[in-house]
Amino acid sequence: MSMGKRIQAVGMVLCIALAVLSHFYSEQINELFKLEDNTNQDNPAPLVGLQQNESWLVVLVDFDSNPLTDSAISDTQDELKQHSEDYFSQATGQQVSIDISVHDGILRAPKGLSAYGADGSNGRDYGDGGQFLPALLAEFVVESMNQENLESYDLNDDGVVDRFLILHSTIAQEQGGGSSNRIWSHFTSFIEPIKKADVSFEHYTMSSMRHGSNGFGTILHEMMHQFGAFDLYPVHDSGYTGSWKGIGVWDIMASGNWNGGGDTPSLPTGPTMNAIGHGPTRDVLLEWPDNSQGPCIGPSIPLESRFAGGDRIRIQIDESEFVWIELRTQEGYDESLPGDGVLVLLEDLAAGDTAHNAMNIDQRRPYLKTIEADGNQEQLRGINDGVASDLFQPGDEFGERGIHIRDHDGVLVPWYAKIVESNNKWSVEFHSMNCSPKHKIDLEDFGSTLLQDEPLSLEISPGNDLVQCWGDLTGSDGRTVVFSNSSTSDSTHLGTFSSQGALDSTATFSGFIYCDDDAFDIKTSVTTLGSIPLPSEMKLISNINVVEPTTIRLPYTGLGDENGEFSIDIDGPLSRVATTPSSVQVENGNGTILIEIDPQGLLQENMYVLGTIHLQTFNGEQWDIEVELKAQSSNSNPLVGNQSLVLSIFFILFAAWFASSYFSKNSSVKHTEERDDYSVDVFLPGDHL
């Protein structure tokens, strides 16, 4: 075979192989060719925290049914400036200046209230469609106002207005009254930034100016979202029917915005101050030198009321967990609190979703909870909104003594704090019974979820062959789990259960685990399931019809081959067009998630619909399945957006070209060889002259 034929044969085989690979790796190839949308919406400007010198742009909007007089402009400017400056000066412990600029003309909404506040099947203020109605009013405001010097509201010089407040003349829906056509006060982002002069509007706050005695706190609450504050109650769970209100009266970002009927909203707690750019005033590190003999004595810190600029004390107990301590008294904007005392909070950044302001949505795994001094956990259980007995008084202890504090692994902290009063001055003293442990123990966050035949595992750091761990935990279901220094690696230790757990059950296991000279007090939960979802194996990327309904059957994938049931919830833009059954049944490890897509006129050709399908077990543990759907017409070109198919066709055509050349060459060579047998001489130069 000649060199040319070899090259053609190799090219043909290589192109066929590449065509096959393009087909089998279509998802990865299409991902490589996916264009990133670098619009300002996908990469919004960061929110700017509370500044010492603030500038707010405020616009008043009225309706034909609720007109305003021109005096509302000056009244709003004076009242809002006074309250906001006083409030944030108390919150920070330093003077805050806020320049309130109210637009010099009251804007009349072009439509009635229901056009911007009607509730519907898609949610509050969505009407019967998929568009957030109040945003239409906000867009009208931006386009209609003639405000000059908009750059003064860009506090970090990035070309984006950072403070923008719209106050309307009607009663807000959260104030009660029963109407479903009113606007619920909110903070949100525009779908697309709106350009105005030399700046862009990316977000806004909208609230009611008719607060009277029940709404000023709501205005500040919503404005604090522009600083970066999170809601501290289960606001995003539309199906939530419980009574839990997060940390309740203790923070303006929970239900504290309604303290005193809204005229005396509670001050923001340390975690909220941290979120808006004002971190702890004192970080306390509770560590003692190696080989210290217990008990160990730590620092003593004087306590002043937050009203008077007192400390916001923070103690880190794990990588993402912090204990906050602050003295709260019934003074200033805190005058409507239920009592005086030391407020102790446990913050867990691993429990919240900062990207979607979905933080304190599950009391079983709270981002922020009150360490209740009375120990009855009534606020956490939703029985009350915060009472005086939640606050620690002189003589009270918390930590490893008194009211216990555990991290989300269930490990008791190795220190305790005591509230002390001397000469009418309060302080907090820190101690440790056994000083600093040499090792750190790590179990699964919020408890372990296991199959029936799985052991309970824990990690030790730093880990090495010489660390020995042993002990046993007793379960509320009558089982025990024993650790006997059996490990699969230098740091992983396995505990053996006395018997299998019942399917779809949760038990609390408590006891002590000893690692060398360290003793760890453990109280953790163990959930036993017949199957554990593998969300990465269920990622859904598919096409849907842009007009007609589409049914998608997503196979369930998980570990374990027993039965189970998971509730289903849809989040994100996908929720506007998709529905599922309330749960998926898993039998022998198999199941199907049925997804019904109804475009409802909301989709356009080649539009992407993104979202998340949440699978949740009975104890609140959740697994998230990412979904990416592309809307296309039934007669659309299958090559558009399918680069793997384009490559496959390309390589097949080249393979055909190589094959054609290869076999055509063979035929030509054979014919030439036959002619050579009969007329070789005619090709010899000079013989026919």
- What's the average model confidence in pLDDT over 291-313? 95
- Between these two residues, 661 and 233, which has the higher pLDDT value? 233
CA distance 255 to 501: 40
For domain 532-632, the CATH superfamily is: Immunoglobulins (2.60.40.10)
This prediction's pTM: 0.84
CA distance 413 to 398: 10
- In SS3 terms, 521-557 reads as EEEEEEEECCCEECHHHHCEEEEEECCCCEEEEEECC
Pairing of strands 456-461, 53-62: unpaired
Task: Read off the pLDDT of residues 12-46 as tens digits, 9 standing for 90 and up.
Answer: 788 788 878 877 777 666 666 553 433 334 578 89
Q: What is the CATH number of domain 53-228?
A: 3.40.390
Asked if the model's pLDDT at residue 108 lies above 70, the reply is: yes
Number of H helices, E strands in the chain: 8, 34
- Between these two residues, 565 and 40, which has the higher pLDDT value? 565
- Taking the domains of the chain in order of start, what are their residue ranges? 1-33+641-689, 53-228, 270-432, 449-528, 532-632
* Residue 24 DSSP one-character state: H
Q: Which pLDDT value is given to residue 637?
A: 56
Pairing of strands 622-632, 578-579: unpaired
Asked if the model's pLDDT at residue 563 lies above 60, the reply is: yes
Same topology between domain 53-228 and domain 449-528: no
Task: Read off the pLDDT of residues 177-192 as tens digits, 9 standing for 90 and up.
Answer: 667 889 999 999 999 9
To which residue do tokens 């949610």 refer?
123
Asked if the model's pLDDT at residue 159 lies above 50, the reply is: yes
Structure token pair of residue 515:
């690692």
- What's the average model confidence in pLDDT over 321-330? 99
Average pLDDT of the residues of the chain: 88
Asked if the model's pLDDT at residue 217 lies above 90, the reply is: yes
Q: Which pLDDT value is given to residue 673?
A: 44
Q: Which pLDDT value is given to residue 310?
A: 97
Q: Which pLDDT value is given to residue 379?
A: 95
Task: Read off the pLDDT of residues 245-291 as tens digits, 9 standing for 90 and up.
Answer: 899 999 999 999 999 999 999 999 999 999 999 999 999 999 998 88
Q: Which pLDDT value is given to residue 32?
A: 60
- Asked if residues 417 and 428 have their Cβ atoms less than 8 Å apart, the reply is yes
- What's the average model confidence in pLDDT over 593-602? 92
Asked if the model's pLDDT at residue 669 lies above 70, the reply is: no
Task: Read off the pLDDT of residues 130-148 as tens digits, 9 standing for 90 and up.
Answer: 789 999 999 999 999 988 8
Buried residues in 116-146 as b, exposed as e (16+ CB within 10 A): bbbbeebebbbbeebebbbbebbbbbbeebe
The CATH class of 449-528 is mainly beta
Asked if the model's pLDDT at residue 681 lies above 70, the reply is: no
For 338, phi then psi, to 5°, come to -75, -10
Asked if the model's pLDDT at residue 84 lies above 60, the reply is: yes
| CA 408 centroid distance within chain | 18
